Amino acid sequence: MKVGIGLPNTVPGCDGATLVEWARRADGGPFSTLAVLDRVRYDSVEPFAALSAAAAVTSRIGLATMIAIGPLRGAAMLAKQAVSVDALSGGRFTLGLAVGARLDDYDAAGVDHRTRGAALSTQLAYLRGEFDSAGIGPVVPFGAKGIGLLVGGTSGAALARMARYGDGYAHGGGPPRAFGSAATKALAAWRDLGRPGAPALWGQGYIALGDAERGRDYLRDYYAFTGPFAEKIAAGALTSVREVKDFVRGYADEGCDELILFPTVADLDDLDRLAEALS
């Protein structure tokens, strides 16, 4: 199983210099991918902008959205952003998409959240079909021979969407057993559609290896929309080397292909601590 690291683009107060240095150090570390999250109504850096900055200072590490909220953007602009990051990075980009769970992001963007599932399906169909003849460049196909497409979500409709249009499944986080349950459903959806092979299975978690309480406070705030469940998410932050190793082993045992560990504080020492834990 590959292990990547998140870029702290949604950690409030993280500045450009820190994001760039984080990307540079990640490129020199043991990580497979540098991934970003997506919010609108939050103190955060737009994901495609963050990855463009990362592309300029890296040469090896993969780049990914894990995930971007597709329906907040028009299909053509979403495609333009994706192929631009891929071009800037020399073909190292993976596009992960989902509908997102925060209604305030839709309100801020002026987009109707009630049609978000249908909107994402339309976008994915566009990326897999009409985009090829849309005249939008740089010209890079979406799919196995170009930009890989991950699709997230846990509903039956989301898994069917992944199986129809995606190259892989992006899970939203939690303990290894939660990932394993979702992965089983993703594989079943893939087989039900008669697709050959299997989807790439991506998972994620959160680290707080330095200031654990500050990391938990960030998670409580970031997931405040979930109500009391935010406390459970905060409690799941990995705060020691042993917890990281157990978490990585658990995801590998559940069949995860790539695991992204996201920071909860924009402290470069946490990146170095994670690199050491994985060595």
Q: Do residues 18 and 268 lie in contact, with contact meaning Cβ atoms separated by under 8 Å?
A: yes
In this predicted structure, the answer to whether residue 164 has a pLDDT above a threshold of 90 is yes
| Residue 11 confidence (pLDDT) above 80 | yes
Tokens of 200: 């790439």
As a whole number of angstroms, the distance between CA 43 and CA 22 comes to: 18
The answer, yes or no, to whether residue 62 has pLDDT greater than 90, is: yes
Q: Distance from CA of residue 130 to its chain's centroid? A: 25
Q: Provide the pLDDT for residue 145.
A: 80
Mean pLDDT on 250-265: 98
pTM passes above 0.95: yes
The C-alpha torsion from 84 through 86 and 89 to 93, rounded to 10°, is 140
When pLDDT is cut at 50, 70 and 90, the band that residue 139 belongs to is confident
Q: Which amino acid is at 67?
A: I
Locate the domains of the chain by residue range.
2-278
Write down the pLDDT at residue 65. 98
Which CATH entry fits the domain spanning 2-278: 3.30.310.50, 3.40.50.300, 3.30.70.3270, 3.20.20.30? Answer: 3.20.20.30
